[in-house]
Amino acid sequence: MSVYDTGSLSRAQSAVLDLVPRDSDVLELGANTGYMTTRLKGRACRVVAGEFDRAALLSLVAVADVARWCDLNNLDTLGVFEGGTYDVVVLADVLEHLVDPEQVLRWCRTRLRPGGIVIVSMPNIANWRVRLLLARGRWDMTETGILDRTHLRFYTLASAGALFERAGYTVAAQVPCVQGLPVLTKAARCFSSGSVVGAVERRLGTKLVEARPTVFAYQTVWVLHARNK
């Protein structure tokens, strides 16, 4: 089981939360132990959550309004959600782990209320770190991050957009998110003025990702609207 840090969220996870309207009915798929679910509840949302890992599900049932076991690689198991429709479906760091993410996205369209949205976050395989690895002839899978060993799919911003188009969506918003810049992160650890360095890092990172999201985005968050069903 991959248990994520419940004390802090990544910039992409924070962006996902910011995009969920308060007081929404939310279907959160791949909710893990409920670290995002808890924060959605803090936004006065009602959350139905699905998770494959049964150990994580034990924690999830304590925070979600409804928690169900499901396997996103087996659409038949999603029948446990067939009775409801939602304002928002959240797929945070999920699609890259799936055998057929397009079919899951198509299924999500059937659960949306009129005007509802799907919010997706995924890593950007064209990030500069991976480009440097490839330039050195390396492709080293890791325990976490863009090259996480459990990732089955890899997307650039363009190929992710094509996936959403095939699944029947239009992109309403795209939020590229940067990870810490190594030089400034080390500086923040070395000097007592770490908060100042951190502020510079965030501002510089924001400028870089705005200028070249295809290169500097570590992850990207999308808001999707379903086209006519």
Domain boundaries, the chain: 11-179+214-226
Long-range contacts of 100-108 (CB under 8 A, 24+ apart): 100/73, 101/153, 101/163, 102/163, 102/166, 102/167, 103/75, 104/29, 104/72, 104/75, 105/163, 105/164, 105/167, 105/168, 105/169, 105/224, 106/167, 106/168, 107/75, 107/78, 108/27, 108/29
Q: Which pLDDT does position 210 carry in this prediction?
A: 74
pTM: 0.87
Q: What is the pLDDT of residues 133-174, one digit of tens each?
A: 999 999 999 999 999 999 999 999 999 999 999 999 999 999
Q: What is the pLDDT of residues 177-226, one digit of tens each?
A: 987 655 444 444 554 445 655 565 566 666 776 777 889 899 999 999 99
Average pLDDT of the residues in 35-64: 97
- Domain 11-179+214-226 of CATH type 3.40.640.10: no
Q: Which pLDDT does position 205 carry in this prediction?
A: 60
Average pLDDT of the residues in 28-48: 97
